[in-house]
Chains A and B, each alone.
Chain A
Amino acid sequence: MNQFEKQLQSWTPRRPSPKIARRLFSTAQRAARRSHRAQTWSWLTPLAACALTILVAVQPESPAASRMAGRTNGAFFATFMLDAAGSSSPATYSLSQLDENLEWNVWPHASHHVTEMRREEAPSHLNVLNLIPTNR
């Protein structure tokens, strides 16, 4: 190639507008990114599942878990049994109203004798009521 041809070659042809490349390849780039993400998840998900399974399988062998396993489970079950929220729910309450065993614990009339005490009859050490001025 002679000097003249080299000079011609040194001129850079005008580039097309950048928006053409964006229009052409933006979808392809998005798809490639999506595909890359999908590939990552395809191995990450089974790996995470395996790790979780191993963790669950190995957990009772840990010292803290062993201590927990050695204890009685009374407190644990008591927590379940004392389900305050459950017992105060309307359904549970209406059921217990119908329970006939509940009647054994009902105390319909007070059996304790209560005497009405008049102010004059009150013992002197309890006569504080006299200190309060009344209309009588």
Chain B
Amino acid sequence: MKDSEINGAWCQPLYECKAAGLILYGRALGLSHGEAEDVLQETFLALLQLPQRPEEPEHYCVRAFRNRAMNYHRSVWRRLAREWESARWFEGGSGRDDTEAEAVRKLADLPPDQREVIVLKIWNGMTFEEIGRLLDISANTAAGRYRYGINKLKVSMKGDVYGRDEPVRETIAILDAPSPLA
């Protein structure tokens, strides 16, 4: 039996659990949704080819995804396609589109290292220790970045979306994706 066939047994549940969070992480790292999907597919293809199951599959998977996302080379066509692509980061929900769009905008405006930690903590369910190991920083540094980032986000959203008496359903046509991490 091939490695991919054996690894499918543990890769598939991992995919089900992590795929959406990794796509969002890819967006936070500066990729479009389609690009994040490409990186996700490449990452899991590589996982399927592994000769054996890693000791910590989740950590290995996020790290592999991050490495691939950082090394992702965009062609001109990809950049153009990205401009036309939907800017939605989250699944649609009733009555919160404006808030979500603002949150995404503010999240994208955050410094990349703070944005990254917030996405990993909130939507990937990682602890500060795990984030620290992933980014090769201490848990305290990760926690500090998170706190700074979340406070900025909160303040900016309070002064903007939460301050509105009536939400205006403005169409946010194209959101600039955040700049990639250095």
Contact = CB atoms under 8 A, between A and B. Distances in A.
B91 A5 contact: no
A13 B16 CA distance: 13
Contacts, number: 89
A interface, size bucket: 20 to 34
Given A13-B20, A15-B19, A32-B8, A20 B93 contact: no
A97 interface: no
Given A8-B103, A13-B89, A25 B123 contact: no
Interface string B34-67: 0011001100110010000000000000000000
18 contacts: A8-B122, A8-B153, A11-B90, A15-B20, A16-B19, A16-B23, A20-B40, A20-B41, A21-B12, A24-B12, A25-B15, A27-B5, A28-B4, A28-B7, A28-B8, A28-B9, A28-B12, A31-B4
Interface of B: 1-2, 4-5, 7-9, 11-12, 15-16, 19-21, 23-24, 33, 36-37, 40-41, 44-45, 48, 88-91, 93, 96, 100, 103, 122-123, 150, 153-154
Contact of A9 (B7, B11, B122): B122
A20 B43 CA distance: 12
Given A16-B40, A21-B15, A31 B91 contact: no
Contact of B20 (A12, A23, A28, A31): A12
A104 interface: no
Nearest to B125: A9
Contacts of A29: 8
Interface string A21-57: 1011101110110010000000000000000000000
A9 B91 CA distance: 12
Given A5-B122, A9-B122, A31-B1, A14 B48 contact: no
Contacts of A107: none
